[in-house]
Amino acid sequence: MPEELKKSEIESHSDPAVTKQLDTETPKEEQFKKLYSLVDSKKICLLSTNRDDIGPVGRSMAIQKRVGPDFLFLANSHGQKFSDLEHDKTVQITLQDSSNNDWVSIAGKAVTISNTDPRIKDIWSNIVKAWFGDLGDGKHDGSANDPRMTLIEVKSHYIAYWLHDVGTLGLLKEVAVAAVTGKIAKQGIMRELFESDIEMARKSA
C-alpha cells in the first residue's frame, strides 16, 4: 500500500520512492540467490562501456557464463568495445524483464583475455560462430581457436536490483491511490549489494 511522505525524508534529501522500497532485512545470501535466478533466467543483457567524447555506449551481449557474482562474455577483438576498454575498464551490465519490470544493474571492471585462455574452450559453443563468420583460411573460422575470439571477464563491484511484488492491476491501483492521497507508491522491493557483500559471495561461489 502507498506510504506517507515524512518530513524527515524531505530534510534528509532522500528519495522516498527508493528508500521506501529498499530491502535492508533479507539476508545477503538470500539476496544473492534471487539475483542469480534473475540473471540466469535472462542470459541476454546490455553491456555498456565508456567511449571518449561520447559517454556510455551499450550493446546486446549473451552472458556465456556466470561465476558467482562475476560474468564471462565472448567477443570479437576487432569490435570497438575493446578500444573503449583500453581507456576505461568500467562497465555496466543491465537486464530487465519487460513482463513485470524487474531489473538488474551491475557495475564492474572488465578484463579482456586473448584466445589463449582455456576458459574460452569451456564456454564456447557452435552458435558463437554465427557472430564471427568463417573466412575459409582455416584460422578466422569463428572457432574457439580463432585469434579474434576474446574473453571479457567482468568483476562486479556494485549490484542493484528491483523485484515487483504486485501484479499489473495492483500496480495501477497503487499508483492511482498514491496520486490521489499524496502518498508514495510502493510497487516492489529494491536491493543493493556492495563490494564487501560481493567479495563474500565470490569466496563462496
Residue 78's contacts (CB-CB under 8 Å, 6 or more residues apart) are: 148
- What is the C-alpha to C-alpha distance for residues 81 and 140, in angstroms, rounded to an integer? 20
- What is the C-alpha to C-alpha distance for residues 20 and 70, in angstroms, rounded to an integer? 29
Give the pTM: 0.85
pLDDT one-digit tens code per residue, 121-142: 999 999 999 999 999 999 999 9
Provide the pLDDT for residue 162: 96
The residue type of 62 is: A
Give the domain CATH number at 33: 2.30.110.10
The answer to whether residue 150 sits within a structural domain is yes
- What is the C-alpha to C-alpha distance for residues 163 and 179, in angstroms, rounded to an integer? 22
The answer to whether residue 21 sits within a structural domain is no
- Structural domains of the chain, count: 1
The answer to whether residue 110 sits within a structural domain is yes
Is the sign of the CA dihedral 115, 118, 120, 124 positive or negative? positive
The answer to whether residue 12 sits within a structural domain is no
The answer to whether residue 109 sits within a structural domain is yes
pLDDT one-digit tens code per residue, 46-103: 999 999 999 999 999 999 999 999 999 999 999 999 999 999 999 999 999 988 899 9
The residue among 104, 103, 98, 100 whose CA lies nearest residue 170 is: 100
Lookup: cell for 3: 506510504
- What is the C-alpha to C-alpha distance for residues 186 and 1, in angstroms, rounded to an integer? 6
Q: Rounded to 10 degrees, what is the CA torsion of 189, 72, 84, 103? A: -20
The answer to whether residue 185 sits within a structural domain is no
pLDDT one-digit tens code per residue, 18-41: 677 789 999 999 999 999 999 999
The answer to whether residue 160 sits within a structural domain is yes
pLDDT one-digit tens code per residue, 140-177: 999 999 999 999 999 999 999 999 886 554 554 444 44
Greater confidence (20 vs 188) lies with 188
Provide the pLDDT for residue 14: 61
CB-count exposure of residue 192 (10 Å: 0-12, 13-18, 19+): middle
Q: Which domain holds residue 79?
A: 26-166
CB 124 within 8 A of CB 104: no
The answer to whether residue 5 sits within a structural domain is no
